[in-house]
Structure 1
Amino acid sequence: MTKRTSSKYKLDRRMGENIWGRPKSPINRRDYGPGQHGQRRKGKLSDFGIQLRAKQKLKGYYGDVTEKQFKRLYTEASRQKGDTSQNLIGLLERRLDMVVYRAKFAPTIFAARQLVSHGHIRVNGVKCNIASRQISVGDEISLGNKAMEMALVIEAQGLAERDIPEYVSVTDNKKATFTRVPTLDEVPYPVKMEPNLVVEFYSR
């Protein structure tokens, strides 16, 4: 499990965007970076800086995936047929913690990862505590008995700030089926993501 060493919302302020689209985000009140120099005028970014920023934003959105895991996903995406940037998004969306988040079993990607690591999630009826597990099309993800009664899960299912995407089919608020690997256009990002810049960053 990836452990955040700093406040997750600092990423919002560093990027100047509400990355997860949450009403609690401080960017809604302060649209400048964290720290005593956050309000200084920002200099123009180089091509490398733009690519790095795109990578950090995408990596941060998926729960601050470790650099090692993220690089491994890029390598796998580049080996697959087709557009590498689309393949990368598909692999990220197939992570178990992300499917749990998309199904609205958890209010945040960090809470989704915690649900998985604490053994509250079943994949095809079998307990799985590996958040980075790649889900296949047709796999059924379900909540354990204790999880169904958790306040965190009930809160997530009542959230109006995001909808369940079409590539995740939910039944009775306790079972979800991953129906297909989405394209970039289908993924409901609150902000613009540029995986093509991430590919440029790694292929330098």
Structure 2
Amino acid sequence: MTKRTSAKYKIDRRMGENIWGRPKSPVNRREYGPGQHGQRRKGKLSDFGLQLRAKQKLKGHYGDLTEKQFRRIFTEAERVKGDTGENLIGLLERRLDAVVYRAKFVPTVFAARQFVNHGHVTVNGKRVNIPSYRVKEGDVIAVRDKSKQLAIVLEAVGLAERDTPDYLEVDHSKMTATFTRIPGLGDVPFAVQMEPNLVIEYYAQN
């Protein structure tokens, strides 16, 4: 099991929630956290605890981004006009690895990062291997011809547990996705409730 695979199971267990809505999530079987102290009764979380958890959950959902990466995206969301929480979600969803995951080209967000890294994806016909690359409205994201028959791609397309969101026009016969618009919080098919307002409160105090 790779570090990333074991990490995704730990994130689910730590949060006590199936944050990607996967049928194989260990939370479906055990709701307590990982490790020898995981079964201890959980006390009521403080305001800080709730804010920290909201941040970890959102950060974890996008492949457990580093704190530095996530903080940088948050700072940018704050700078842009409009609602900071909505801006934050919009910036996260514009990451190339997030688009590849949402388009169901691969089964998990961790696989999406690796898939992009290994050069299997093009944006507007040019190969891009940077998972954090930010797509724009109208960009066409595609799986390269020689990568279309990879087992991981065929497995993802057949997954029944998640749909592609309406801000992507996806054609699985051609393995292309057009990013039609920047989504808001209500547009994104999160498996659990995300609370970007608590993330804003967390950074306001830290």
- Could you state the TM-score of these two structures normalised by the residue count of structure 2? 0.95
Unaligned ranges ≥5, structure 1: none
Q: Where does residue 95 of structure 2 map in the other structure?
A: 95
- Percent identical pairs in the alignment equals 69
Q: Which amino acid aligns with 1:174?
A: M
Q: Where does residue 163 of structure 1 map in the other structure?
A: 163
Cα distance in 1, alignment partners of residues 160 and 95 from structure 2: 23
Contact 1:157/1:173, CA 8 A, preserved across alignment: no
Counterparts in 2 of 1:22-61, with a 5 A limit? 22-61=22-61
Q: Where does residue 203 of structure 1 map in the other structure?
A: 204
1:122-146: CA deviation from partner (whole Å, max 9, x where unpaired)? 0000000000011000000000122
User: Is residue 2:145 matched to residue 1:132?
Assistant: no
Contact 1:170/1:177, CA 8 A, preserved across alignment: yes
**How many angstroms does 1:6 deviate by?**
4.8
Counterparts in 2 of 1:56-75, with a 5 A limit? 56-75=56-75
Helix, strand or coil: the match of 2:36? coil
Q: Where does residue 85 of structure 1 map in the other structure?
A: 85
Cα distance in 2, alignment partners of residues 160 and 108 from structure 1: 13
Contact 1:104/1:156, CA 8 A, preserved across alignment: yes
What is the root-mean-square deviation in Å for CA atoms of aligned residues? 1.2
Helix, strand or coil: the match of 1:146? helix
User: Is residue 2:186 matched to residue 1:191?
Assistant: no
Q: Which amino acid aligns with 1:7?
A: A
Q: Where does residue 148 of structure 1 map in the other structure?
A: 148
Cα distance in 1, alignment partners of residues 152 and 15 from structure 2: 27
Contact 2:5/2:110, CA 8 A, preserved across alignment: no
Contact 2:124/2:141, CA 8 A, preserved across alignment: yes
* Length, aligned pairs only: 202
**How many angstroms does 1:37 deviate by?**
1.2
- Could you state the TM-score of these two structures normalised by the residue count of structure 1? 0.96
Contact 2:167/2:180, CA 8 A, preserved across alignment: yes
Cα distance in 1, alignment partners of residues 4 and 157 from structure 2: 24
> Which segments of structure 1 move beyond 3 Å, counting only runs of 4 or more?
3-6
Cα 1:51–1:94 change in 2 (3 A) is same
Cα distance in 2, alignment partners of residues 6 and 159 from structure 1: 21
Cα 1:173–1:27 change in 2 (3 A) is farther
**How many angstroms does 1:7 deviate by?**
2.8
Q: Which amino acid aligns with 2:26?
A: P
**How many angstroms does 1:5 deviate by?**
9.0
Helix, strand or coil: the match of 2:145? coil
Q: Which amino acid aligns with 2:99?
A: V
